[in-house]
Structure 1
């Protein structure tokens, strides 16, 4: 039953990342240096893994999905610079996004792609 809902979940995660990335958020009461990079990596890890699983039974290439997730992360950072005055796009954020995408791809390729039952 979850397999049927994965596309919807993937779309909601994609939209959620855009909203969180482009709206003005208040300051966190606890400030930890560079914790946002871990948040970026985790968000794009989840995004990529869910899209890979959602589109597993299609003819869409795994590499195309990974590229789209990487491209999406880059575009979001560019949009932060160009359409907002309160958010900052950073190269290190793009790098953190890419790390999350890469880790998801490695895990998917190592485990999920080989296991036909999932």
Structure 2
């Protein structure tokens, strides 16, 4: 089953990574309705999760290329900063926050740790 899933996703990971990247940009820049129930700082968890997924998928998509994994991590970090700046400069209904950048960075670092831990033990995957 794992081998079948791996073969199915092998050629599509770049497309999935691009779609996730675009989705984060769109969700970050559109006007969203307020949730009926407000939980303090839940958006930081959402940021961390989104950038965890973004980073992990890009690391997996580019693992067979010569692109250094540290460059991928830096690009995800820089992308998060660009999105926060765009929220401040291009919208009147969104705000960029340092805490959002910190949450993004947390997600990126967790993805990096998971990626390194998993692929250090499973070289054949």
TM-score of the alignment, normalized to the shorter chain, above 0.5? yes
User: How many residues align structurally?
Assistant: 118
Q: Which runs of 4+ in 1 moved over 3 A?
A: none
Match of 1:90 in 2: 97
Helix, strand or coil for the counterpart of 2:12?
A: helix
Q: CA separation in 2, counterparts of 1:11 and 1:116?
A: 25
Q: CA separation in 1, counterparts of 2:41 and 2:103?
A: 10
Of 81, 84, 101, which residue of structure 1 is paired with 2:88? 81
- Give deviations 1:28-66, integer Å, cap 9, x for gaps: 111100000000000000000000000000000000000
Q: CA separation in 1, counterparts of 2:28 and 2:120?
A: 30
Q: CA separation in 2, counterparts of 1:113 and 1:17?
A: 29
1:1-118 correspondence to structure 2 within 5 Å:
1-118=8-125
Deviation at 1:117, TM superposition (A): 3.0
- TM-score, normalised to structure 2, is 0.91
Gaps of 5+ in 2: 1-7
1:11–1:113 Cα change, 3 Å: farther
